[in-house]
Amino acid sequence: MKRIVILISGRGSNMQAIVERCAEEAWPAEVVAVLSNRPDAAGLAWAAARGIATAVVDHKAFARREDFDAAMVRAIDVHRPDLLLLAGFMRILGADAVERYAGRFLNIHPSLLPAFPGLHTHRRALEAGCQVVGATVHFVTPQLDHGPIVMQAAVPVHPGDDEHALAARVLKSEHVIYPLAVRWFCEGALELGADGRVRHRGGASQVLI
């Protein structure tokens, strides 16, 4: 059984989707802990109510970024993760912390990377006149919202969309591709090639359209 630790900062809907799919589809995996940098993250109560260990490492309690990272690493390592997931975690971890989990660390970002890394992706996509947007699951590297792509979902922009409408449509796709990518990792179906590309060993499509 793969041990999954999930880092959140807010509502945690991607975390919930992963916990639910993991149980429903009997993955060879268990979400053993949900950690947050914010004490008020709504997803913490949801996880705790399901008997999942939760903890808060409040970034405001640390003057130096390295000290926050070190505390977060300690909180993560207590749970001996085989897989670490960022799911709406709004702090940037330093390179040392990221490299500690190299090859077993995934993130979801609400854009078709490498377009629109960082914040306000939906607003920026609308301003740019994009007709298609999406979401990306990728391995985490020290560079923000960058790293080998595991799966992407394409989502159409509709006339009259504002950023909230678009974010809601993209989020539905996130809840499909993130659990699927995590399942693949837990089943050992993902292969990270020497060329830096991620492939599904069985040839499953890594795009949702």
As a whole number of angstroms, the distance between CA 5 and CA 102 comes to 14
Catalytic residue among 109, 122, 138, 175: 109
Q: Which of 4, 18, 36, 110 binds ligand GRF (CB under 6 A)?
A: 110
Q: What is 157-175 written as a DSSP string?
A: PPTT--HHHHHHHHHHHHH
29 near 22, Cβ under 8 Å?
yes
200 is catalytic: no
Q: Considering the rule CB under 6 A, would residue 149 count as an interface residue with ligand GRF?
A: no
Q: Rounded to a whole number, what is the distance in angstroms from the first to the last CA of the chain?
A: 31
Q: Considering the rule CB under 6 A, would residue 138 count as an interface residue with ligand GRF?
A: no
Handedness of CA 34, 92, 209, 182 (dihedral sign): negative
Candidate ranges 32-40, 71-79, 104-112, 200-208; the one touching ligand GRF (CB under 6 A): 104-112
Candidate ranges 32-40, 47-55, 64-72, 106-114; the one touching ligand GRF (CB under 6 A): 106-114
Candidate ranges 58-66, 93-101, 108-116, 196-204; the one touching ligand GRF (CB under 6 A): 108-116
Nearer to ligand GRF, 81 or 110 (CB): 110
Residue corresponding to tokens 């709504």: 42
Q: Considering the rule CB under 6 A, would residue 147 count as an interface residue with ligand GRF?
A: no
Between the CA of residue 41 and those of 53, 88, 116, 125, what are the distances in Å?
A: 14, 10, 25, 27
Site for ligand GRF in 21-80 (CB under 6 A): none
Beta-carbon contacts of 89 under 8 Å, excluding residues fewer than 6 positions away, are 7, 8, 9, 36, 37
Beta-carbon contacts of 24 under 8 Å, excluding residues fewer than 6 positions away, are none
Site for ligand GRF in 168-207 (CB under 6 A): 171, 174
- How many residues touch ligand GRF under the rule CB under 6 A: the total is 13
Rounded to a whole number of angstroms, the minimum distance from the CB of residue 203 to ligand GRF is: 26
As a whole number of angstroms, the distance between CA 97 and CA 117 comes to 20
Candidate ranges 5-13, 52-60, 97-105, 198-206; the one touching ligand GRF (CB under 6 A): 5-13
Q: Which residues are catalytic?
A: 109
Q: Could you list the residues that contact ligand GRF (CB under 6 A)?
A: 8, 10-14, 87-88, 108-110, 171, 174
